[in-house]
Amino acid sequence: MTEDYENTEEHKSTWTPILLAAGIAIVLIGVVIFWPIAVAGGIMVVAALFKLFKDGAEEKFAQAKESLEEKFPLESLNKEKLGIWIFLMSEILIFGSLIIAYVYVRLSSSSWPVATQTHNVILGMTNTIILLTSSLAMVFALHSIRAGNTRGLRIGLFSTFALGATFLIIKLGIEWPQYYRNGFTINSGLPGSTYFVLTGLHALHVGAGLVAVGYLIFRSYNGGFTSTKHSSVENISLYWHFVDIVWMFLFPLFYLI
Amino acid sequence: MPGMKMYVGIWFGLVVATVAEVVTRSLPGALSLLALIILLISSGKAITIALYYQNLRYEDKSLAILPIAALIGVIILVVAAGMSM
């Protein structure tokens, strides 16, 4: 079976994932040791992402048919979708561990500031509704392209991008500066560090999602998607909804309880 | 695949649930009880998004292996952290 596969399919390989992983590692090392190293790592990450997007746009690694043993035990999923689910699994591990660690710290602390007094509930609720609406816009984009409606796809993607950007502007441009002015910073003990680390990590994921949605918008103007060829839209929408799900827990934990 | 009308209905339900969380917090009563109610609403919202927006309801049931494996992984990490304290 493997021999058949090797004989019938053109062998394709890429160094992009290695460059991307090395770039991220160098950024993290640079942040701790010496910032110019982090900049060099950042350049590597950008170069790798550019190559990744270019390969994606050219569908360099797209396969028309996958053999059964490649898909077992999830026969109904293609490799791309299985890949995104495995990626989301790793994200569940990251956020799940951090959220449970926060709950543990919170429960074992004798005193903790009242959430509704330290955090702006109205801004938090507004951001929750914005993120929920961005998820609906993403659903609209996917629904449209499944029906072959490219204009609907673009409207959905632009709306998702605008709403995601608004979420970040409220969070990083209004809310965080307000907390800093009130003396609630990352150095304000465990309440401050847990809040800024978890919501900061989430904001980083929203930012990554915006880059991905930007890529979809770019591809939508280059005839990249049709009613039968839109797996990137489907996969990135799974990621976007996941980011939404994480916020559904962060909002009550930090703003209400 | 359900139509857009249903997705808009789900979005409306999620927004109402978000407002309900905020209203619940302002109700009189023990914080632990209010927290439990709020977290139940949040979990319901998260499950709804996963089932309908991520289309898990219409996917192969075997896909549940992955999130369940991740949750087991989280439990292992928590237990390991607890044991090291």
* A240 & A119 share domain: yes
Range of the domain at A218: 78-257
Do A100 and A184 sit in the same domain of this protein? yes
pLDDT for residue A240: 97
In residues, how long is chain B? 85
Better pLDDT: A80 or A251: A251
- On whether both A34 and A106 belong to a single domain, the answer is no
Q: Are residues A206 and A85 in the same domain?
A: yes
Q: Between chains, do A143 and B22 touch, taking CB under 8 Å as contact?
A: no
Q: What does the pLDDT read at residue A150?
A: 93
Inter-chain residue contact B21 with A89, CB threshold 8 Å: no
Instruction: Give the C-alpha separation, B82 to A126, whole Å.
Output: 36
Q: Residue A252 sits in a domain of what CATH number? A: 1.20.120.80
Among the listed residues A236, A256, A252, the one whose alpha carbon sits nearest the alpha carbon of residue A83: A236
- For residues A125 and A242, state if they share a domain: yes
* A210 & A245 share domain: yes
Q: Which of A64, A96, A113 is the last residue of a domain?
A: A64
A239 and A178, same structural domain? yes
Task: Let me know if residue A35 belongs to a domain.
Answer: yes
Place of tokens 């609630």: A184
Q: What is the mean pLDDT of chain A?
A: 87
Tell which wins on pLDDT, A108 or A132: A132
Find the mean pLDDT for residues B66-83: 76
A55 lies in the same domain as A157: no
Going from the C-alpha of B35 to that of each of A11, A36, A93, A157, the distances in angstroms are 55, 45, 24, 35
Task: Please report the pLDDT score of residue A125 as a whole number.
Answer: 96
Higher pLDDT, A142 or B30: A142
Which is more confident, A56 or A46? A46
Q: By mean pLDDT, which of A183-192, A202-211, A244-253 is the weakest?
A: A183-192
**In the prediction, which pLDDT does A2 show?**
42
Domain count, chain A: 2
B11–A133: do the CB atoms touch at under 8 Å?
yes
Q: Residue A43: its pLDDT value, please?
A: 93
Do both A237 and A172 map to the same domain?
yes
- Residue B30, pLDDT score: 87
Q: Identify whether residues A25 and A123 lie together within a single domain.
A: no
- Mean pLDDT (whole number) for A40-67: 79
DSSP run (H or E) holding A126: helix A121-146
Per-residue confidence (pLDDT) for residue B64, from 0 to 100: 77
pLDDT 10s digits, A55-74: 776 766 666 666 666 666 66
A232 within 8 A of A205, measured Cβ to Cβ: no
Q: What sign does the dihedral A251-B12-A232-A68 (CA atoms) show? A: positive
**What's the pLDDT score for residue A4?**
45
Is residue A216 situated within a structural domain?
Answer: yes
Lowest mean pLDDT among A8-17, A217-226, B48-57: A8-17
**Cβ–Cβ of A248/B62 closer than 8 Å?**
no
Q: How many residues does chain A have?
A: 257
Q: Mean per-residue pLDDT for A192-209?
A: 94
Q: Which of A17-26, A113-122, A237-246, B5-14 comes out lowest in average pLDDT?
A: A113-122
CA dist., res. A210 & res. B8, Å (int): 22
Average pLDDT over residues A184-210: 93
Residues of chain A positioned with their CB less than 8 A from the CB of B40: none
| Lowest pLDDT segment from A45-54, B6-15, B56-65 | B56-65
pTM of the model: 0.85
Is A7's pLDDT higher than 60? no
Instruction: Show the tokens assigned to A117.
Output: 């007094």
Does the residue A73 lie in any domain?
Answer: no
Task: Say if residues B41 and B20 touch (Cβ distance below 8 Å).
Answer: yes
Q: Does B14 touch chain A (CB under 8 A)?
A: yes
How many whole angstroms separate alpha carbon A203 and alpha carbon A168?
7
Domain contains A71: no
Task: Tell me whether residue A223 is in a domain.
Answer: yes
Please check whether residue B8 touches A, CB under 8 A: yes
Write phi, then psi, for B74 (nearest 5 degrees): -60, -45
More confident residue, B46 or B31: B46
pLDDT at res. B60: 77
- Quote the pLDDT of residue A63: 61
Give the Cβ contact number of residue B37 at 10 Å.
15
Same-domain check for residues A50 and A134: no
B63 interface with A at CB cutoff 8 Å = yes
pLDDT tops 90 at residue B66: no
* Beta-carbon separation of B18 and A129 below 8 A: yes
Residue A140 above 80 pLDDT? Answer: yes
Q: Are A137 and B11 in contact (CB under 8 A)?
A: no
Q: How large is the ipTM?
A: 0.89
Judge if A25 and A102 occupy the same domain: no
pLDDT band at A127 (very low <50, low <70, confident <90, very high): very high
pLDDT the model gives residue A62: 64
**Higher per-residue pLDDT: A108 or A157:** A157
Q: What interhelical angle do A35-57 and A16-32 show, nearest 10?
A: 160
